Structure 1
């Protein structure tokens, strides 16, 4: 048995075909996904992993250990979701154990390594649950027994595949939620499909049906409509995943630290990289800790609670989408099922998710510490397409209201993503609000109220386009530097105002570009000008509602609120901290008031 060798080219081919087999069945995996959360994305997550494996395995290998090194590296980079990270840890475990064997290309070493890697896959999971992917992995690996009757992988693999098939079918009986829905575990089936393709390729030397190698095929990370009703509200809100490089802690140390921040904790670590998955209410705290022990290079945080509420009690047939620059209270966003595309903030090589893994007060702490200006970027095309894939299976139409196109590329990115969805039955309309911050937030509130009233989609779009000019924001800033550096206001005017220490009112013109007006020589004078301006607007146009927002300056914002209540005679809709992206350009200590004017008026 020890003299039997594995052809590394056949091994690489088998990995590729196993990946293709799984990708081909991703929609079915999405549909049977009910554990641990019925979010319908296990197939898409595993397909994303397999796509990365396909891409990385195109590079030339010269040995079995080379193949496993490439697969191990690719799996850490591409892993998504619970099952994906368990997959990644298992592949890395095989590679690590194979490195310790004398004959690294022998069948005997391969069998020994896949068995030893079982314990590493279990260790990746904080609380392993039988009847899931881990059970099928163990059953398959343990079935690869050395014997005189079966002395080659061509004979061993089909036998192990049968054992894996039996273990997969048994998952229905092992977990009550699977039994209620009469399905097998989605992650477990994903592993079985991979092994099935792997085995077929190794035994027959033939490709699986519908091969996609060498094509321009791109796996869409879409989410199919769940077919199951027997699900419960998630214990934690955000499905958080982070890929770390230059990791300084062991897997056990990371587990101990993160176990207090949520559940469904899975960690895969190898060669200085770690992929972490956790369900948590505090993804910002998760990232803060991980940033201290490594360099975050990828992250995501999906709102499982919002997905659950949309799946179980959708409020309207129209999906309302905006970006995180729209300043609205978090509770309002969740309670009204508003979908938010997050902006990204980059500080010293670490990328953060606006309002989820970073808040504006934390932004100022980090930029002072790093002595470096933060930068921002709009949601990626893939992020937008992922959201559309989810919404299209649940809504009749989708309305997206973005930050002003003059201030961000978000509008154009979303428009581009919408073009790709023309074949779908769901209507999609993308509107440039020509606003930002709380003014954009108030427009979202108004759009939501129209949606809840039952207004038709075409009428909704018409009303928003005609009413967006009735929303206005007035900003008071102490230091104009951040706005000048970020290009949010005209540089020439900004530099002159700064030179003579003038304090202007910052607002947006009718095209959504920053403008300066009503210059004063002090913040107090600036505040008085804003209050006077609002009084005039209220007298002439009747302010319907208003909101006060601030950049890490709650005390000043509350004082503003009291003055405005006195002058306008009613309370603001909300007082909150602003988006990190807006805080980055407005600067620490800035305060703004956004208003909605009465119908038929033009605030500009």
Structure 2
């Protein structure tokens, strides 16, 4: 039998081992995109597991349940999603067995759960994390001595190490860079710590730090009983570590930011609940008194309006990379899945707990490059569970699948739902305001009352009539984030060319034109839109910027002269887009009339 306390300790040690290897994983991250964030994403997942498993468990199955739930809550990036699917697969398979706390059941479940790991990816590729997961699970099942985990885990770890080392030879990009797959190594580091906790339990426990207790807040049900339109829009919860102020000091400072304030402090940790219109300012203050670990912000105002009177039977969902004015989103009841931004050790919620101007202020004080990740499976599932009670159908329009794993995460969430609502997920093959314009079209069709199937087809066709052109000052952020080809970007930098960055028909970043100055790039963009307008092709357009409002206003005025009408909106871009576009970037997204091919 497995001791549930030892199992929980092993999970925690595996998480710590991976967190300690974060920097190495970031450095070797070259597949599928060389964006250096695999370590950060997996460390964030492991931190959530540590936080969610601090309370005592009473059984093996409860330990697995906590880890499975925590992994869905904290999963970031492709490898994180696979981790989450795998842990949930182990838990689900254990539930189907008569005995849930034996070594035999554990070994059987980790093998059966391989299927879930593969299903987390639309196109599984060998030589990645799934290969090492499979090798480890199969090695465990080959061991005939199942008297204790201390006996079966070391040999399986050796097999996993061999599989990890072999990933270098399985993928060309890994062989070219002479590295192992970052996600695969992340899994290996986890099972290495997990194994050592069983094999060397006494020495490991002596080295383990005394974990501080978790902190909870008791929320009255009346706080979330919304019978009238809420004064404050976001129900915000934030967990802090290393808190330097008292409960009373925190309460006194936050009283001006909203209502329904509840603060709990325990052994250096604090959990704060507040209803606020300014969650980014709330977090900005709390970051000065402690280290944010977790945060969430639910849009109570949108939920209230939908519950009181929905505008249509079809729910429209997009992600926060779609740049649309906040008022437009609320007034049209568009539901937004927030992207995540990791700065240092803190995960922020795009456009809610962090704004673009704050991002650039904070970025300068960080040694590590900020990274981003798609919404978690749990976030998507929670949204679906709300929408299915309010709508007959759900249309989700995501950022290009070539730029983010959001599309695949949402698709995976649709497989897991038991909802009777029809759900369609469309890859916009766009980002930023181009994605926003596509969402605007879908919203207008929904409001007109067209059937769901027709809506899906019209939205897919419209993708080809939307385009974005971006002027960037510095190519380094786009190269580092993998948004444009590294080779092309380095050549452009070497000869000091200023590029126009756009997306191709597949939704991949590319360099579509060049000039030797920013003014030259602007001139080319203005001329292109003027030429399109002469043929009555432009239906509408929007100007977006990365903390460069004056330049965006200039673009808006200039383009209005060229095409004869004002932009639909001018706004700051998503923090996630700003991270790869760089400060000072300006872009125009435009929509041409249906049936007309772009130039």
Partner of 1:274: 270
Partner of 2:33: none
Map 1:411-430; keep pairs closer than 5 Å. Answer: 411-421=407-417, 423-430=418-425
Q: Does 1:351 align with 2:341?
A: no
Q: 1:418 Cα deviation (Å)?
A: 0.7
Partner of 1:26: none
SS of aligned partner of 1:425: coil
Partner of 1:530: 525
**Residues 290 and 59 (structure 1), Cα distance of their counterparts in 2 relative to 1, 3 Å cut:** farther
Partner of 2:58: 58
CA distance, structure 1, for counterparts of residue 256 and residue 54 of structure 2? 36
1:16-36: CA deviation from partner (whole Å, max 9, x where unpaired): xxxxxxxxxxxxxxxxxxxxx
- Count of equivalent residues: 396
CA distance, structure 1, for counterparts of residue 233 and residue 584 of structure 2? 30
Partner of 1:293: 289
Q: 1:537 Cα deviation (Å)?
A: 2.1
Q: Does 1:505 align with 2:500?
A: yes
Q: 1:53 Cα deviation (Å)?
A: 7.8
Q: Does 1:397 align with 2:393?
A: yes
Of 469, 480, 484 in structure 2, the residue corresponding to residue 489 of structure 1 is: 484
Partner of 2:514: 519
Q: Does 1:550 align with 2:545?
A: yes
Contact 2:226 2:304 (C-alpha < 8 Å) held by counterparts: no
CA distance, structure 2, for counterparts of residue 353 and residue 582 of structure 1? 13
Contact 2:341 2:373 (C-alpha < 8 Å) held by counterparts: yes
1:356-375: CA deviation from partner (whole Å, max 9, x where unpaired): 01111111100112243210
1:222-271: CA deviation from partner (whole Å, max 9, x where unpaired): xxxxxx99810111000000011111111111101111101100111111
CA distance, structure 1, for counterparts of residue 384 and residue 406 of structure 2? 15
SS of aligned partner of 2:506: coil
SS of aligned partner of 2:535: helix
Partner of 1:476: 471
Partner of 2:586: 591
Contact 2:356 2:572 (C-alpha < 8 Å) held by counterparts: yes
CA distance, structure 2, for counterparts of residue 558 and residue 337 of structure 1? 28
1:187-218: CA deviation from partner (whole Å, max 9, x where unpaired): xxxxxxxxxxxxxxxxxxxxxxxxxxxxxxxx
Moved more, 284-293 or 370-379: 370-379
Q: 1:524 Cα deviation (Å)?
A: 0.3
Q: TM-score, normalised by structure 1?
A: 0.63
Of 291, 314, 324 in structure 1, the residue corresponding to residue 310 of structure 2 is: 314
Contact 1:435 1:508 (C-alpha < 8 Å) held by counterparts: yes
Contact 1:541 1:601 (C-alpha < 8 Å) held by counterparts: no
Q: Does 1:434 align with 2:452?
A: no
Q: Which structure has the greater CA radius of gyration?
A: 1
1:366-411: CA deviation from partner (whole Å, max 9, x where unpaired): 0112243210010000000000000000000000000000000000
CA distance, structure 2, for counterparts of residue 358 and residue 53 of structure 1? 28
Q: 1:449 Cα deviation (Å)?
A: 0.3
SS of aligned partner of 1:429: strand
Partner of 2:406: 410
Contact 2:537 2:596 (C-alpha < 8 Å) held by counterparts: no
Q: 1:313 Cα deviation (Å)?
A: 1.4
Q: Does 1:603 align with 2:587?
A: no
RMSD of aligned C-alpha atoms? 2.7
CA distance, structure 1, for counterparts of residue 593 and residue 403 of structure 2? 26
**What are structure 2's unaligned runs of at least 5 residues?**
5-47, 74-223
Q: Does 1:250 align with 2:250?
A: no
SS of aligned partner of 1:357: coil
Map 1:144-223; keep pairs closer than 5 Å. Answer: none
**What are structure 1's unaligned runs of at least 5 residues?**
1-8, 10-47, 61-69, 81-227
**Residues 52 and 588 (structure 1), Cα distance of their counterparts in 2 relative to 1, 3 Å cut:** closer
**Residues 532 and 56 (structure 1), Cα distance of their counterparts in 2 relative to 1, 3 Å cut:** farther
CA distance, structure 2, for counterparts of residue 529 and residue 474 of structure 1? 10
